[in-house]
Amino acid sequence: EIVLTQSPGTLSLSPGERATLSCRASQTINSIHLAWYQKKPGQGPRLLIYAASSRATGIPDRFSGSGSGTDFTLTINRLEPEDFAIYYCQQYGGSPSFTFGPGTKIDIK
């Protein structure tokens, strides 16, 4: 099973700053099978990015995804107050099989 590792565990930033979140896979994965989600307390996760770099419908363009192979990045430009949340990466391994990373929390500095 492919293991996803996210870093850092917590990112302390101020509104207006840029957030750079990392997701590393234990094996090479197909970029089309890598997604990112935002999770806020009391809510279900919200799809942000699929296929590593495609924004989901309604997601602001300050969110962008990149990467390939084993290293993927979610970048949030100009953090807004509503962006302080936990972010998860997820990969699809066929069969079907899906795994998530442990998450990166962005909190207010």
Partner 1 sequence: QVHLEESGGGVVRPGGSLRLSCPASGFVFGSFGMHWLRQSPGKGLEWLSFINYDGSKTYYRDSVRGRFTISRDNAKNTLYLQLSSLRIDDTAMYYCAKAPNAGGYFHFWGQGTLVTVSS
Binding site for partner 1 (CB under 8 A): 32-33, 35, 37, 42-47, 50-51, 56, 88, 90-100, 102-103
Name the residue nearer to partner 1 (CB basis): 16 or 96: 96
Closest separation in Å from C-beta 1 to partner 1: 10
Tokens standing for residue 14: 């101020």
Closest separation in Å from C-beta 67 to partner 1: 15
Q: What's the rounded Cα separation, in Å, for the pair 62 and 67?
A: 17
Closest separation in Å from C-beta 33 to partner 1: 5
Radius of gyration of the chain, Cα coordinates, nearest whole angstrom: 13
**CB neighbours of residue 38 within 10 Å:** 21
Q: What's the rounded Cα separation, in Å, for the pair 71 and 31?
A: 10
Name the residue nearer to partner 1 (CB basis): 11 or 34: 34
Closest separation in Å from C-beta 15 to partner 1: 26
Name the residue nearer to partner 1 (CB basis): 52 or 76: 52
Q: What are phi and psi of 31, to 5 degrees?
A: -55, -30
Q: What are phi and psi of 63, to 5 degrees?
A: -95, 130
